[in-house]
Structure 1
Amino acid sequence: MTSSGTALPPSTADARGAAGGVGMAFVLVWCTGYIAGTLAVAHGGPLTTLVLRFGLTTLVFALLALVGRASWPARRELGHSAVVGALLLALQFGGMYIGLRLGATAGVAALATGSMPLVVALLALAGGERLGGGQWSGLAIGFCGVAMVVADRVDGATPPLAWLALGASVLGISLGTLYQKRHASRLDMRVGLTVQNATATLLVLPLAIVLEGVHFERSAAFLLPLAWLVGVNSVGGFALLFVLIRRGAATKVAALFFLMPPVTAVMGWLWLGEHLTLLKGAGFACAAAGVWLATRRAAPPGRA
């Protein structure tokens, strides 16, 4: 509302509503990946699962690009997409899964992921993006919400190497988000995601061979969650992330990750029988408030 009580123009309100809808769809789709991933890695090596996920997703987007006759950009732009794939896919998920393999608990991994919006904000600030006091408050409140959600799953026995791997994971998704926003968000989405997933496949494959021998069960217990990871989480989730990064500031997109641990906790309660407490509920509320503060537009002078 303006100071005179007039409403936002319909076009502005519709645009904000659409952006909010895309953001919530992204959060819901992305969080299903944690559930499907938990089910998949119970029947196959985590790095092997990533190789299959990235490789199959590459084929899906390559087929979409071919059928849609997408135009392939210059080599330089393809190189930018390859860098995003190395950071946003290979380093993020590879670091997280290696951290879990080295002894990090799921709670520690979730807390590390929850710090991503703060890391993005600091990197964006260093790169010249300006943040207001409300955004900083939102980032702080959001992180507190994440900490409340995962508090009962964090212990003090995480090995230093596991922390190092998780730190690399957070750095990968943070740098990847910023890099894509600045260098790789204008090319055709189908082409960009083909290159990103192909790059991640080639980078993670040697680790899967050396550490796991490319191990997975040829059963529905593994193949069905893998199909979900590819069809819903990778194709749907990363397509939505691509759209969000193209449309919004990096810090606003990153703030949505505060909602990942709370929403995943609810999904885990519904489908995996995990415990849901009042503290988690309060953390969900804090995370949501933090996202609202961090992503809302500041009112122009003279408006409320």
Structure 2
Amino acid sequence: MPDPEPRPRASLATTGVAFVLVWCTGYIAGTLMVAHAAPLTALVWRFGLAALAFGVLATLARAEWGDGPARVHSAITGVLMLALQFGGVYLAFAWGAGAGVAALVIGTMPLLVAALAVAGGDERLRASQWAGMALGLAGVALVVADRIDGHTPWPAWLALLAGLVGISVGTLYQKRHASRIDLRAGLALQNAAATLLLLPGAWWLEGLRYAHAAEFYLPMLWTVVVNSLGGFALLFVLIRRGAATGVAALFFLMPPVTAVFAVWILGEHFTALKAAGFALAALGVWLATRQARVPA
């Protein structure tokens, strides 16, 4: 009788590939969107419309919205993974951080998630998985090496560190507390919480400033429909079905894949160094995830 494991493992791998491809388009769309809007305002648009869309989907499907604690857990996850992560990254861009610095800081997320998961007793990692994490980070460093400068101001560093903490702690928090609610209802609550948290800053500090132009609306709609509805739905499924460190390791592939997209869309160059970084990151992800167990 054949081993029943390959099918769920293959399914999870396919979901992981789809997640990486969808998620990476968000960096391109986000860059285009923030060029025509204040950073927090752009996020209020994105998260607010995503909350509305997920809320409509949950209502039409008559999904269960969970009890009080489940809703609170979803809201906290939204504050961490959406408001804190993206708020930190977008503010860092506005305060002078380059894309390479941001990618390198956020690229340490899998290592931080792994350390927190092990320290909290959630998971145990083998030596080969730690080696994969190190190789993945080295691959990210090679990909973004030509985009790192020494002129990033300290407020931007603090914002990026806040974003790193948000996505790292949020990943573990969702795995532990917020994965039992309906996907549509949970994501509606997460996006609504992020919107409410960022709205005062977008209003009072930025005056809800954005350009009434297609250059803003088109990438903004892409981030809502493709990245929020598609990307976060895939991430929700991955976190629910897989180990948190295995899911986090996929983020090593984000800078290399985004670099490939940037060649096609933004006209950037894909160098031999980036190609080597891509290969190294892919090897690291393979080592970090190949021994992860997938629930039946």
Q: TM-score range by the shorter chain?
A: over 0.9
**Residue of structure 2 equivalent to 1:198:** 192
Which deviates further from its counterpart, 211-220 or 189-198? 211-220
1:158 to partner: Cα distance:
1.0
Which deviates further from its counterpart, 109-118 or 204-213? 204-213
1:9 to partner: Cα distance:
2.9
User: What are the within-5 Å matches in structure 2 for residues 253-292 of structure 1?
Assistant: 253-292=247-286
Task: Decide which of 22, 26, 30 is 2:15's aligned counterpart.
Answer: 22
Find the residue that maps to 1:283 and give its secondary structure: helix
AA partner of residue 253 (structure 1): V
Find the residue that maps to 1:52 and give its secondary structure: helix
With structure 2 as the length reference, what TM-score do the two structures score? 0.96
Task: Decide which of 51, 56, 61 is 2:44's aligned counterpart.
Answer: 51
Distance 1:151 1:21, change over 3 A: same
Task: Decide which of 115, 118, 124 is 2:111's aligned counterpart.
Answer: 118
Deviation track 1:264-297 (CA, whole Å, cap 9, x = no partner) reads 0000011110121100000000000000000002
User: What percent of counterpart residues are identical?
Assistant: 64
Task: Decide which of 32, 53, 66 is 1:60's aligned counterpart.
Answer: 53
Which deviates further from its counterpart, 88-97 or 204-213? 204-213
**Residue of structure 1 equivalent to 2:130:** 136
Which deviates further from its counterpart, 71-80 or 169-178? 71-80
Residues 1:223 and 2:205 aligned together: no
Distance 1:186 1:99, change over 3 A: same
> What is the aligned-residue RMSD (CA, Å)?
1.2
AA partner of residue 137 (structure 2): F
Which deviates further from its counterpart, 8-17 or 29-38? 8-17
Deviation track 1:107-141 (CA, whole Å, cap 9, x = no partner) reads 10010111100110111111112110011000000
Residues 1:174 and 2:168 aligned together: yes
Residues 1:31 and 2:14 aligned together: no
Deviation track 1:42-69 (CA, whole Å, cap 9, x = no partner) reads 1111211100000000000000010000
Do 2:105 and 2:164's aligned partners in 1 also have CA atoms closer than 8 Å?
Answer: yes
Do 2:84 and 2:162's aligned partners in 1 also have CA atoms closer than 8 Å?
Answer: yes
Aligned equivalents of 2:275, 2:204: Cα separation in 1: 41
With structure 1 as the length reference, what TM-score do the two structures score? 0.94
**Residue of structure 2 equivalent to 1:162:** 156
Do 2:246 and 2:292's aligned partners in 1 also have CA atoms closer than 8 Å?
Answer: no
Do 2:243 and 2:292's aligned partners in 1 also have CA atoms closer than 8 Å?
Answer: no
Find the residue that maps to 2:125 and give its secondary structure: coil
1:244 to partner: Cα distance:
0.1
1:12 to partner: Cα distance:
1.9
Could you list the runs of 5+ residues in structure 1 that have no partner in the other structure?
Answer: 1-7, 300-304
**Residue of structure 2 equivalent to 1:101:** 94
Deviation track 1:167-199 (CA, whole Å, cap 9, x = no partner) reads 000000000000000000011001100110000
AA partner of residue 103 (structure 1): G
Residues 1:151 and 2:136 aligned together: no
Moved over 4 A (4+): none
Which deviates further from its counterpart, 22-31 or 41-50? 41-50
Do 2:135 and 2:283's aligned partners in 1 also have CA atoms closer than 8 Å?
Answer: yes
1:151 to partner: Cα distance:
0.3
1:103 to partner: Cα distance:
1.2
AA partner of residue 37 (structure 2): G
Aligned equivalents of 2:244, 2:8: Cα separation in 1: 18
Find the residue that maps to 1:212 and give its secondary structure: coil
**Residue of structure 1 equivalent to 2:181:** 187
Which deviates further from its counterpart, 258-267 or 44-53? 44-53
AA partner of residue 4 (structure 2): S
AA partner of residue 114 (structure 1): G
Distance 1:220 1:247, change over 3 A: same
Find the residue that maps to 1:158 and give its secondary structure: coil
Do 2:65 and 2:186's aligned partners in 1 also have CA atoms closer than 8 Å?
Answer: no
